[in-house]
A = this chain, B = another copy of it.
């Protein structure tokens, strides 16, 4: 492949190829989208990427870790406020709608990652830090905008209820549609 790089890492020896890294991530993403996390083996990912399994495990400690990274950038770009929305919009409703929409494609993968997090403490910490927390921060910012007086604790509880409901439905195979986003918005604003 191309050499792409000009000797700038502190280490000696042949440097890690960014092309190989990208190929592995792309292979993981497409395979998992099609077959689901459990049905995709590390051997399949390596083959699809034209790489060796060793190339995978040199970069990530675990299959779950690799798939997490493969879906991170995508999820972030799709949900976190593209174009910052024009003023006057319902920012909260728009955020929840984008979240539900994004989960229609990456949802199955995220479900599997949440499942993997249940049996692996180290992975759960990374999952929490790299996927859960950034999403929470983004939603909290949206909420803070419309409730500037609310305490951090109150905002966090609302974030928990909103993402909690969405994850609950995702994990139980129930639809995540615009209507859910709308009703959750109303619930958290006005109560039952």
Contacts and interface: CB of A to CB of B under 8 A. Distances in A.
Interface residues of A, number: 43
Each complex incorporates copies of this chain amounting to 2
Contacts of A165: 157, 160-161, 164-165
Interface in A41-87: none
Nearest to A174: B160
Majority SS of interface residues in chain A? helix
Interface in A137-192: 143, 147, 150, 153-155, 157-158, 160-169, 171-173, 183-184, 187-192
A91 interface: no
A187 B157 contact: yes
Query: In this complex, which of A164, A165, A183, A192 has the most chain B Cβ atoms within 10 angstroms of its Cβ?
Result: A192
4 tightest A-B CB contacts, nearest first: A164-B164, A164-B168, A191-B191, A164-B165
